[in-house]
Amino acid sequence: MNQNHAAMRSLLERIEQKTARLGVIGMGYVGLPLATVFANAGFHVTGIDVNAERMAELNRGESYIEDIPSDMIDRLRAEGMLEGTTDFSVLANMDAISICVPTPLRKTRDPDISYIAAATEHVAKHLHPGQVIVLESTTYPGTTREIILETLERTGLRVGEDFFLAFSPERVDPGRTDWTTINTPKVMGGVTPACLKVATALYSAAIETVVPVSSPEAAEMVKLLENTFRAVNIGLVNEVLLICDRLHLDAWEVIEAAATKPFGFMKFTPGPGLGGHCIPIDPLYLSWKMKSLNYNARFIELASEVNTAMPQYWVQKVQDALNEHSKALKGSTVLVLGVAYKKDVSDLRESPALDILALLREKGATVKYHDPHVPSVKHDGLVLESVEHLDTTLAEVDCVIVTTDHSAYNWNEVAEKAALIVDTRAVLKRVPEAAL
């Protein structure tokens, strides 16, 4: 057996014996859960993040992510299985590296892969034979090979022989308790068969199911398909809402009735727009990539157009509702109920409620908000704090717009105390009439 094969065998043995050391670059909503899963599985994990405050919290045994309890972090710290640092030089001591950095969109709607590029430069600086690197950050097909592989091979080391490279898309859905990092199947695409073998062995040691595919490009495309599927179908039901509005039909009644069909239909519901770190953004990576190949991804562009217009639609509904009560939007006080992008989380990323707040203020309304998970909002010059006394505020404002249907809300009380309600989530339709 030659030296390179011996290096791979040694790495596989360390993975099997759980003596391999894992470094996770980017300790946010994806990286921290991944780090805890591997640490709980018996691997020593070092989290690396440029956010010194987060790493200090981690090292104090405190969690800064709602889905991860602090007592778990505290236990893993006490057991010596998890630590955090801002020092990228620790990568020299790692056998495995997972890259979980953000991939936002620029204002020009093209992918910002600067975080991936920066992380890769750090990895390249400390790359040595017998390392496996897995990118988890969502991006366009070709990134793993074109950006990461090209950079790492400049070191003179060879992929599939000296080091091993793969892509495995994150599938984190904040707030879920049924499907989490440990039991959500992980798609894995290696640059070479040896890369796939090593990366699959690593992740299989901590995660229940690993699904191999033929290449990193296939794995990258899987993630984009998943979120494009959701974005397009949400765009469809949002347009159904607009259509039903003009036909004087109840869109939610139509959707619920259609959902009784046991085959050939999957239920999606309309709302104030798209939010979160994936669905509003990821499909546009693919759209951007296809433009470079002279192809227009029409479904993606149309769905994005419909979904991004929903905040304007709902602000118009607020204005219409006030007009019916002989009030103008300008000068009225509007309470936005819930600003997180989905129920029972504190995540504000791409939340349509932020657009609704801004649009209401642009039209002259006095805006307030309440969210039990978000104590304050700072966004594009907008600085607000969640109102302290919800009961009093509900009765005082001219209109309430429900944007996030948090479980903590007593919808009976909301319906009873608010003089005027615009309900983007149809949550009040789910409250029994006898209770209202």
pLDDT digits (tens, 9 = 90+) for 355-379: 999 999 999 999 999 999 999 999 8
183, two tokens = 């039991």
d(CA 144, CA 10): 25
pLDDT at residue 1, rounded to an integer: 43
Residues 291 and 189 both lie in one domain: no
Mean pLDDT of 299-327: 96
Does 108 lie in the same domain as 15? Answer: yes
Q: How many residues does the chain have?
A: 436
Three-state DSSP class for residue 179:
coil
Asked if residue 230 belongs to a domain, the reply is no
| Same-domain status, 201 and 306 | no
Residue carrying structure tokens 């390179």: 4
pLDDT tens, position by position, 412-432: 999 999 999 999 999 998 665
Q: Note whether residue 223 is domain-resident.
A: no
DSSP 88: G
pLDDT of 105 > 70? The answer is yes
CA–CA separation, 386 and 167 (whole Å): 40
**Residue 228 belongs to some domain of the structure:** no
Residue 3, number of CB atoms within 10 A of its CB = 9
Q: What are the CA-CA distances from residue 104 to residues 3, 47, 218, 310 (Å)? A: 40, 21, 21, 21
pLDDT tens per residue, range 141-161 = 999 999 999 999 999 999 999
Distance (Å, whole) CA 224 – CA 305: 18
Report which residue type is found at 398: D
3-state secondary structure of 384: strand
CA distance 326 to 317: 14
Residues 6 or more apart in contact with residue 118 via CB below 8 angstroms: 101
List the single range of 40-49, 100-109, 136-145, 339-348 with lowest mean pLDDT: 100-109
To the nearest whole number, what is the mean pLDDT of the chain? 94
- Of 214, 232, 258, the domain-final residue: 214
Question: Is the residue at 29 inside a domain?
Answer: yes
CATH code (residue 184): 3.40.50.720
Please identify which residue in the block is written with the tokens 């009784």. Answer: 260
Asked whether residue 249 falls in the same domain as residue 312, the answer is yes
278 is catalytic: yes
Q: What's the pLDDT score for residue 435?
A: 44
What total number of domains does the chain contain? 2
Confidence (pLDDT) at 175: 85
Rounded Cα gap, residues 48 and 43, in angstroms: 16
Residue 316 located in a structural domain: yes
Closest CA to 271 of 394, 405, 179: 405
Tens of pLDDT, residues 114-145: 999 999 999 999 999 999 999 999 999 999 99
Q: Is residue 10 domain-shared with residue 123, that is, in the same domain?
A: yes
C-alpha dihedral sign at 136, 137, 141, 146: negative
User: Are 350 and 274 in contact, with CB atoms under 8 Å apart?
Assistant: yes
Structure tokens, 143:
């990134």
The dihedral formed by the CA atoms of 341, 347, 350 and 356, expressed in degrees to the nearest 10: 50
pLDDT at 110: 81
Of 389, 390, 384, nearest to 409 by C-alpha is 390
Whether 210 and 254 share a structural domain: no
Asked if 114 and 46 sit in the same domain, the reply is yes
Q: Which residues contact 223 (CB under 8 A, 6 or more apart)?
A: 138, 169, 170, 171, 187, 282
CB atoms within 10 A of CB 395: 12
* CB 352, CB 274: distance < 8 Å: yes
Same domain, 247 and 208: no
Of 100, 195, 244, 278, the catalytic one is 278
**Within this chain, do residues 274 and 396 fall inside the same structural domain, yes or no?**
yes
Domain housing 337: 240-435
Of 173, 198, 214, the domain-final residue: 214
The mean per-residue pLDDT over the stretch 390-404 comes to 97
3-state secondary structure 39-60: HHCCCEEEEECCCHHHHHHHHC
pLDDT number for residue 431: 61
Question: What is the reported pTM?
Answer: 0.91
Per-residue pLDDT, 436: 45
Alpha-carbon radius of gyration of the chain: 24
In a domain, 231, yes or no: no
Whether 232 is in a domain gets the answer no
Name the domain boundary from 166, 199, 214. 214
pLDDT at 38 over 70: yes
**Euclidean distance between CA atoms 9 and 6, whole angstroms:** 5
Examine the domain organization and report whether 303 and 205 are in the same domain: no
Both 186 and 268 in one domain: the answer is: no
Q: For residue 356, what pLDDT is reported?
A: 97
- Distance separating alpha carbons of residues 128 and 162, to the nearest angstrom: 8
Residues 422 and 318 in one domain: yes
Question: Would you say residue 229 lies in a domain?
Answer: no
How many Cα atoms sit within 13 Å of 224 on the Cβ side? 26
Q: Are strands 186-190 and 163-167 parallel, antiparallel or unpaired?
A: antiparallel
| CB contact at 8 A, 306 and 390 | no
The pLDDT of residue 3 is 52
Cα–Cα distance measured from residue 149 to residue 334, given in angstroms and rounded to the nearest whole number? 51
The residue whose two tokens read 């349509």 is 352
